[in-house]
Chain A
Amino acid sequence: MPSESPNGAVAPAAHPLLEVSGLTRSFGSGARVVTAVDHVTFQVATGEIVALVGQSGSGKSTLARVLLRLLEPTDGTFSLDGKEASRLQGRALKSYWRDVQAVFQDPFSSFNQFFPTRRLLEGSMGLLEQPPGGNERQARMQEAIRQVGLNADVLDKWPHQLSGGQRQRIMLARALMLRPRLLIADEPTSMLDASLRATILNLLGEMRQRHGMTVLFITHDIGQASYVSDRVLVMRSGELVEDGSTDQVLWNPRHEYTRQLLSDVPRLHPDAAAVPDL
């Protein structure tokens, strides 16, 4: 077993990859307006794995959807690698999507039930500037499938023939195949059993090490956040209440809400100090 950090942190680059400033999204109008994301400001450096944690309804997924340009922001901006991205349209937006990819919580809703896996993966390669053809396309698909721990035979299966864990891994393979610079993973493991969860989280760490991929990992599970991330952002009612290194947020939280959240998390070893290092 390696003695250093399992995910092998990379030294952060000089300027942030993702820079979010005053980002706001509200729904409804007049007296019934609900502000799901409320003036959120943070940065993510290249090669960092940043966890965004918070309870149900705290605005995590809305923030993800705005960053993915699936929802328009009400106010504020964000930029990728110094280039403003919050108002992109047309070809510029398509190019943004080459750099920023997503994996969602529910792998059921991301599949077209009438397409086998191969067609799904081929289709998403159309997003690339120069889609590879023939043999290279097949090789790239097989490599992506192997990376997520699946066999090439899933390429010819239909969504209903795959288990939830397989579907989720294919979604991850799809995103990884495009070699995005930023992966936004919104609760990617919540439908998976504990034994598979670790495999997926380890894969995120490997992709960062091998390709310098940056990850925004959204979860309500602080245990997973603590395993994989370098930094933790805590969100409550649309606002960011804490932003710090994982060690600082977990062992020395500054905000009262973070402390409350941590105290509600069930532990495997309530008297952790007495437990020998496994």
Chain B
Amino acid sequence: MGALLEATDISAVYASADGRDVQAVSNVTLDLLPGEVLGIAGESGCGKSTFAALIALTARPPLVATGGRLRIADEHIDLRHLEMVPRDLRGKLVALLPQGAMNALNPTLRVRDLAYHVIRAHEEGITRREATERARERLEQLSLPVRALDSYPHQLSGGMRQRVVAVISTLLNPQVLIADEPTSALDVSAQRALVELLRELLDRGFIQAVAFITHDLPLLNTVADRIVIMYAGQVAEVGSGRDVVDRPRHPYTKALMETVLVPEPQVRKRRVEGIKGAPPDLRFPPAGCRFHPRCKYAMDVCQREEPPIVGDLHRYAACWWVQQQSEEPVHAE
């Protein structure tokens, strides 16, 4: 099965006037398969939202792509010249579901006006009545209240707002939906409802794949087919949800999983330690592996050379220690 979205060796920087650019994303290679929810996780500043902006084709200066190739469906996109991508093409390929839907909605427009604007941007001849009708039909199919169309954004609860934006932004049936921290402002019940909605959008074929960006690992584990762990602008580990959560390989992923606090019996019994130190300043990323200053398994080579990719494209960790472990399977920890 061919990938729906293929990002190869993507790098991007936040350009700064003094010439010390922030290297926000470095050599990231990922693919998104049809029908899949790909989770992208990591701490603040790991580059996950920057990567989301790049593949959502919404990167604007000072964020500048410096390298890499992006293909979505049959379209090859030049990330360095995003302004050249025709607008109607953009809407058919990707839609972005941002963190605060409140900020994405014009407070003086009703939801049905928003639907009209979204569709009209791609189908010039459409009337308001047709647009409203189409949005109404979509809400009905997804068992969401149709009266939301007549509401102003502030009349909807935070959770409902986020669900409505998800539906409106996918009215044009884009190939890929990029959800960038869509649940961080929601409480657990609203989170669950949104995640179920995304699954239904996929199952009904309104969208073909989802990239779900979050720092919430337990939530990601319930929604994602595969998980990507990012650290300091690079991919640390990729694998199925099960693999990454239950059998993490990269020392960073291991440490991250140990810090997760969920209401499970074993969490009450053990002492959880934070990860020592802080993520690096990406104006001056450390040489070699970017995690080495915080890594308890760091070796000499980690300080000098970029870590190798251990595994294949769908299940790998970028780590010297993991490579050593896989060569000596009986090595004691």
Contacts and interface: CB of A to CB of B under 8 A. Distances in A.
A95 interface: no
How many of chain A's residues touch chain B, expressed as a range?
35 or more
Interface in B206-251: 215-219, 221-222, 245-246
A198 B264 contact: no
Contacts of B256: 194-195
B113 interface: no
A223 B260 contact: yes
B218 to A, nearest CB: 4
B143 interface: no
A264 B246 contact: no
B43 A195 contact: yes
Nearest to A222: B263
B158 interface: yes
B268 interface: yes
Interface in A184-209: 193-199, 201-202
Interface in B100-121: none
Q: Which of B186, B245, B265 has the most CB of A within 10 A?
A: B265
A223 B187 contact: no
B259 interface: yes
Contacts of B274: 195-199, 202
Nearest to B258: A278
Contact of B266 (A5, A197, A221, A277): A277
Interface in B251-276: 255-275
Given A1-B270, A261-B188, A278-B270, A268 B262 contact: yes
A194 B263 contact: no
Given A194-B215, A195-B43, A266-B219, A220 B188 contact: yes
B193 to A, nearest CB: 9
A27 B222 CA distance: 39
Nearest to A7: B271
Interface in A1-37: 1-3, 5-6
Contact of A55 (B189, B266, B268): B189
A198 B188 contact: no
Given A196-B274, A223-B260, A266 B191 contact: yes
Contacts of A277: 266, 269-270
B261 A264 contact: no
A154 interface: no
The 4 A-B residue pairs whose C-beta atoms are closest, nearest first, are A199-B274, A195-B275, A6-B271, A223-B261
26 contacts: A1-B270, A3-B269, A6-B270, A56-B186, A56-B187, A193-B43, A195-B43, A195-B255, A197-B261, A198-B272, A223-B261, A227-B272, A247-B268, A251-B265, A260-B189, A262-B263, A264-B188, A264-B189, A264-B192, A266-B188, A266-B218, A268-B257, A268-B260, A268-B262, A272-B265, A278-B270
